[in-house]
Structure 1
């Protein structure tokens, strides 16, 4: 039946993101009975984006159609066999098995096998992406696009007397219910350099300097790359193009604490990554010291931040800024912790160590000289 059928395709589009015009790719899934569409724009036309589009579409529509028609995309098809039979790529086969639907593929050179989504893709570009959409982020453009597509549901489905919403209400009852979403991200191994940088798909990403020289796992998503430490800590960066870099200087605080000159060289990016109240702290340090001394003071603060944590340090900085006191952050002395006898192993409870006095050291030096 037609009310369980969908079609999928990618379309090249143009967007303006943060004032930069760029080529992008529209993933479009169209439910053929109701005419309801799901669209999402990606920076890449790769397999991860292809899979991510399905996950988003099924979640947004609230279910999975019984059959979806495709072009013979390399993201889905590893090899064409006899007739309409195809050997699927490993990741696409996993998606199909997860959601339990039937993929079907067009005959080579026969455009009308999925003419519905192809015609709709041209219409979406004309109706929703002209003039060229502009926003500070691709997410904002996608939010506006999806709202515009969803806003069509009260219009009449072409060739019928019913609205898209009315036909979708009937169609939705036939969609396969959702359970756990498929994980579209792809895992890969990454070797961390001595400078605490990992190269993933040709781009570089920073990690905490304590992870230098480790071999770790990275999860590559459509828009983000997450590197997982051996303790389970996850470091997530915006996914970069080949040759790109994403550096978070908070990962290098331990090293920067001993290198005031390096602090000055990366200061704008460091203050951006640290966030409030550190830009105001720097302004106060520069007002009270020379630039080099200010960098030394900031390096000291970074050392305390590394040792004691943000929850202990930031309130002290904010208090100094509020009261106009000098911004100084000496390390707090570590107090010895007294343990009860019950906390010690039984073999150590009866041992007493006398406290040393200066005369003891004089005697040890004399004995050594003799």
Structure 2
């Protein structure tokens, strides 16, 4: 056909058909013209064998006099030089000859040179994995998904566990950075959900978890991780530091799980969640759907897993702190308040990724949300985890202390209380505003109306009014009712005589 080159298949089809058919019929069957058929009969060689390789250049070599003299010595001295780096250097040396138009030529020439004369490259070796042999752990950053909790941006990571053979996956939301507690608790939850233990567990070098620790603490965490894998009967292995592809079976899955979560967020129509628990359930559902698609392979692998140990491992870190006169304690750049009755006592802490359990001796006292060290951009050196219920008793006696309280901004249980303080401090003296706010916190604590009182404060502030402590107390404090007077009249004993007389008569009869 005009405008199209004849290929080898058309030539073979024409020559085969020409054995028993006319030129016109054979040409029609091959999709060519009769004239082309005549040319094929004069030279039946397929087109691929007729191509002539040109032994000459069609244009002037832009790197003539530069390649052997300058570029090759650069590559021999530093084989890792990138083509763009060499291009910039050549443009500096020869501005009259070198421009961005030669970039592709330079890249092709360097690629060919490296294939012929460059250093050996690292080869990847595909592996055959047996069921039940290897589980993998790693962390991946999910901050780029744009997830928010109650309207606040949520910067977080995902602990990611996978079995190499079947593709079973498990994920845990990690609030802080990569740490032993996050790895240990995530691994424990993954194996519990799986219902068995693989023979080998591979992770990275845990350098991120040890980065800010002294040598003794890092060695201690290394021993604890070894004890964790020994508890499950797994052989621990680690890829070399900085060589991520050695953990490639999990690294490649990071991108897949991120894509699945991102696609599920798009279907949901929103990346904002009311609570952290709601978001955790959402991620668990996405991963569970993936496991359902691999159910057959997972069941095959489960048959090769070892049984879980009878007891749970220790997945937390331990610490001991003393409660100061401020009714709190400091731990890893975070200050936590506790009930003031604990001042002077030493507490034993079990530190998890998202919470801290506090014990006095063997008695569990309370669970506190885990605080994280503030970022450098925040301009603070300490994070405050404050519960106003812990200090409201002392604030009643010293309401003036509220104005200059170090952790005042963390004291407000809801946004409405912060708004009320900001409105009061503009029109009242600091002393009066502090008394009013302490009274509001005390009212919320004593009557258990924290949420209702916050709604009332928002309504007042939206209407341009200031909160009146007396009115709010009258509104949220139940009226005290006096007990009604009850008069009890005792019956006379004689009214029972007729009954007793009848009873005596029956006995006499």
Q: TM-score range by the shorter chain?
A: 0.5 to 0.7
**Whole-angstrom distance in 2 between the partners of 1:274 and 1:291:** 17
Q: Which position in structure 2 is the counterpart of 1:118?
A: 251
Does 1:135 pair with 2:260?
no
**Whole-angstrom distance in 1 between the partners of 2:439 and 2:136:** 51
Task: Please show how residues 217-256 of structure 1 align to structure 2 within 5 Å.
Answer: 217-230=348-361, 232-242=363-373, 243-256=382-395
Residues 157 and 175 of structure 2 are in contact (CA less than 8 Å); yes or no, is this contact kept in structure 1? yes
Does 1:105 pair with 2:233?
no
**Whole-angstrom distance in 1 between the partners of 2:436 and 2:365:** 28
Q: CA deviation at 1:220?
A: 1.1
Q: Which position in structure 2 is the counterpart of 1:11?
A: 140
Structure 1 77/211 Cα, relative in aligned 2: closer, same or farther at 3 Å?
closer
Q: Which position in structure 2 is the counterpart of 1:169?
A: 299
Q: Which position in structure 2 is the counterpart of 1:186?
A: 317
| Cα shift readout 1:277-335 (whole Å, capped 9, x = no counterpart) | 4676998xxxxxx956689x89xxxxxxxxxxxxxxxxxx99x73xxx3489xxxxxxx
Residues 63 and 176 of structure 1 are in contact (CA less than 8 Å); yes or no, is this contact kept in structure 2? yes
Structure 1 232/23 Cα, relative in aligned 2: closer, same or farther at 3 Å?
same
Structure 1 294/256 Cα, relative in aligned 2: closer, same or farther at 3 Å?
farther
* Secondary structure of 1:146's aligned partner: helix
Residue 72 (structure 1) aligned to one of 191, 200, 205: 205
Residues 71 and 106 of structure 1 are in contact (CA less than 8 Å); yes or no, is this contact kept in structure 2? yes
* Secondary structure of 1:237's aligned partner: strand
Residues 260 and 292 of structure 1 are in contact (CA less than 8 Å); yes or no, is this contact kept in structure 2? no
Q: CA deviation at 1:183?
A: 2.3
**Whole-angstrom distance in 2 between the partners of 1:256 and 1:327:** 30
* Secondary structure of 1:2's aligned partner: coil
The TM-score normalised by the length of structure 1 is 0.66
Q: Which position in structure 1 is the counterpart of 2:283?
A: 145
Task: Please show how residues 34-113 of structure 1 align to structure 2 within 5 Å.
Answer: 34-44=166-176, 45-74=178-207, 89-108=222-241, 110-113=243-246
Q: How many residues align?
A: 284
Residues 6 and 30 of structure 1 are in contact (CA less than 8 Å); yes or no, is this contact kept in structure 2? yes
Structure 1 3/211 Cα, relative in aligned 2: closer, same or farther at 3 Å?
same
Task: Please show how residues 307-318 of structure 1 align to structure 2 within 5 Å.
Answer: none
Between 124-133 and 144-153, report the one with greater CA deviation.
124-133
Q: Which position in structure 1 is the counterpart of 2:10?
A: none
Q: CA deviation at 1:211?
A: 1.0
| Cα shift readout 1:254-298 (whole Å, capped 9, x = no counterpart) | 435545666633456556666734676998xxxxxx956689x89
Does 1:212 pair with 2:348?
no
Residues 41 and 142 of structure 1 are in contact (CA less than 8 Å); yes or no, is this contact kept in structure 2? yes
* Secondary structure of 2:193's aligned partner: helix
Residues 76 and 89 of structure 1 are in contact (CA less than 8 Å); yes or no, is this contact kept in structure 2? no
Does 1:264 pair with 2:453?
no
Between 195-204 and 228-237, report the one with greater CA deviation.
228-237
| Cα shift readout 1:89-128 (whole Å, capped 9, x = no counterpart) | 1221221122111111224565443211111101111221
* Secondary structure of 1:89's aligned partner: helix
**Whole-angstrom distance in 2 between the partners of 1:125 and 1:63:** 26
Q: Answer 1 or 2: higher relative contact order, Cα 8 Å, separation at least 6.
A: 1
**Whole-angstrom distance in 1 between the partners of 2:295 and 2:321:** 47
Q: Which position in structure 1 is the counterpart of 2:423?
A: none
Gaps of 5+ in 1: 79-85, 156-163, 284-289, 299-316, 329-370
**Whole-angstrom distance in 2 between the partners of 1:230 and 1:153:** 43
Structure 1 2/265 Cα, relative in aligned 2: closer, same or farther at 3 Å?
same
Gaps of 5+ in 2: 1-128, 212-218, 374-381, 401-433, 457-466, 483-509
**Whole-angstrom distance in 1 between the partners of 2:481 and 2:237:** 67
* Secondary structure of 2:165's aligned partner: coil
Residues 76 and 92 of structure 1 are in contact (CA less than 8 Å); yes or no, is this contact kept in structure 2? no
**Whole-angstrom distance in 2 between the partners of 1:257 and 1:101:** 56
**Whole-angstrom distance in 2 between the partners of 1:276 and 1:292:** 16
The TM-score normalised by the length of structure 2 is 0.49
